[in-house]
Structure 1
Amino acid sequence: MAQYKIVSDRYIPYGLKSFSDFTIIKISREGMPRSAADEVSELVKLTDNEMAYLLGMTPRNLHRIPSDKRLGTDASERLLLLKNLLIHALATFEGKDTIVRNWLKTPLYELNDQTPLQMMDTITGFGLVDDVLGRLDYGLPA
C-alpha cells in the first residue's frame, strides 16, 4: 500500500507528481518505458485489458513489448495523461484506490452516461474526466 502525504487538504501518494503539459510533450516524444505502464496500472490495480485500451493498443501488442523498450509517442502521451489523472483521482478520493477503481467503472451523467474508462479512449476524453474530478474537488455538481 502506498504511503500518502497531505498537500493542501489532498492526499498525494509519496513519490508521485503530476506532469506539466510541456513535460508530457517532451517525455512522450522520447517514449515512456514499457515498465512504466505496469507501475501506473498498479496505482489503482487496472487490468491488462484496461491498460491496453487506455493506451490505444490491444492487450497482445502491449504484452509483446519488452519492459525495457519504449512505447510510441501516442501510447506514451496517454500513459502520462493517465498517470496525472489517477494522481488527481487519488487526491480527490483521499487515496482510496478501491473507490477510484469503482468510480472509473461507474457511468456518469456528466460523461453522457459513459464510464470514465470508456471516455479515456481519446485525448479529449481524458480532459473531460479530469474536469469531472475538478468539479468534485470544489464540491460542485459533477
Structure 2
Amino acid sequence: MVLPTQVNEIAALVGLTDKEMAYVLGLTPRNLHRLLSEQNLNIEASERLLLLTNVLVHALDTFEGRTATILSWLKTPIRELNDQTPLQLMDRISGFTLVNDVLGRLDYGLPA
C-alpha cells in the first residue's frame, strides 16, 4: 500500500491538483481524501500512483527538471495521442505506456 505522504509528494512534484490526482488514480476527489485519511490507497490506485511516478520521473529527465513545462505538457493536446492531453490518457493503464512512449520520442528528438 501507498502512504498518503507519497500521494502528496508526487502531486507536488509538478503541481497536480487534487482533482487531477484523483482522476489519474481512478478515484473521485472525495474518495481520494477519504482513502488518504484512512492512511492507505487501494491496490489499483497504488499501482496507478507508481505508473504516474514513472511517467513524472521520465518527464523530469526529458524536460530537464522544468516542472512548469511538464505541467503544461501534461495538459496540452498532442497529435500523436489523438489530440488528447497526456493527463487525459492516464485514466487507463495503457495510457501511461502511451505517454511514456511519447516522452521517449522526445528524448530522441523525434516528433511527438
Equivalent position of 1:19 in the other structure: none
Partners of 2:39 and 2:2 lie apart in 1 by 8
Equivalent position of 2:80 in the other structure: 110
Partners of 2:31 and 2:77 lie apart in 1 by 28
Which protein shows a greater Rg?
Answer: 1
RMSD after superposition: 1.0
What one-letter code is carried by the residue in structure 2 that aligns with 1:56?
G
Structure 2: segments with no counterpart, 5+ residues: none
| Structure with the largest fraction of strand | 1
Give the TM-score of the pair, scaled to structure 1. Answer: 0.76
Give the TM-score of the pair, scaled to structure 2. Answer: 0.96
Is the partner of 1:65 in helix, strand or coil?
Answer: helix
Equivalent position of 2:51 in the other structure: 81
Is the partner of 1:95 in helix, strand or coil?
Answer: coil
Deviations 1:23-73 (Å, cap 9, x if unpaired)? xxxxxxxx1112211110011010000000000000011111245612111
How is 1:52-71 mapped onto 2 (pairs within 5 angstroms)? 52-67=22-37, 69-71=39-41
Structure 1: segments with no counterpart, 5+ residues: 1-30
What one-letter code is carried by the residue in structure 1 that aligns with 2:83?
D
Instruction: Give the number of equivalent residue pairs.
Output: 112
Partners of 1:113 and 1:60 lie apart in 2 by 29
Is the partner of 1:41 in helix, strand or coil?
Answer: helix
